[in-house]
Copies of this chain bind each other. A is one copy, B any other.
Amino acid sequence: MSCTETLREQGYRMTPQRRMILSAIHGSDHHISAEEIYEQIHVKYPQVNISTVYRTLELLKELGLVTETDLGGGKFCYHSVEKGHHHHLICRKCGRIFELDEAVLKPVEGTILRKYGFRPDLSHLAVFGNCVECRK
């Protein structure tokens, strides 16, 4: 199902602003911040307000179309859920970011569900620590 269909299905409307925000997210091959999305749109359409960007990201998160992660730089980063399930390992010393396969945390999901009856959302985690290089 397309993003537009998902929106419409839940009673939300597709607006030019939302189209531009989605296109910025889908067009970015890395994570993108709210500020970066805003700047990209602002060049062509300066009347678009940054609060619309934040509100739209909030909505896209809720609809499960976009994931939000705190990668430690003081800003949240976003990407399309279509880009696959993975987590991030972030080095506290050098700041480099590595991908962590979803499978590594899968067993824990079951353990938490059985032990606490709690279904954790382990779909896009940021895990801080120290990388190979920085541990030497």
Give A residues with C-beta under 8 Å from B.
Answer: 70, 89, 91-92, 98, 100, 104-105, 107-108, 111-112, 115-122, 127-132, 135
List the B residue with the shortest CB-CB distance to A91.
Answer: B118
For the residues of A in contact with B, the DSSP-based class is mixed
Contacts of A92 in B (CB 8 A): 121
Contacts of A118 in B (CB 8 A): 89, 91, 98, 129-132
Contacts of A122 in B (CB 8 A): 127
Between A and B, 29 residue pairs with Cβ closer than 8 Å are: A70-B70, A89-B112, A89-B116, A91-B118, A92-B121, A98-B116, A98-B118, A100-B116, A104-B108, A104-B111, A104-B112, A104-B115, A105-B108, A107-B107, A107-B108, A112-B127, A112-B129, A117-B131, A117-B135, A118-B129, A118-B131, A119-B130, A120-B127, A120-B128, A121-B127, A121-B128, A121-B129, A121-B130, A122-B127
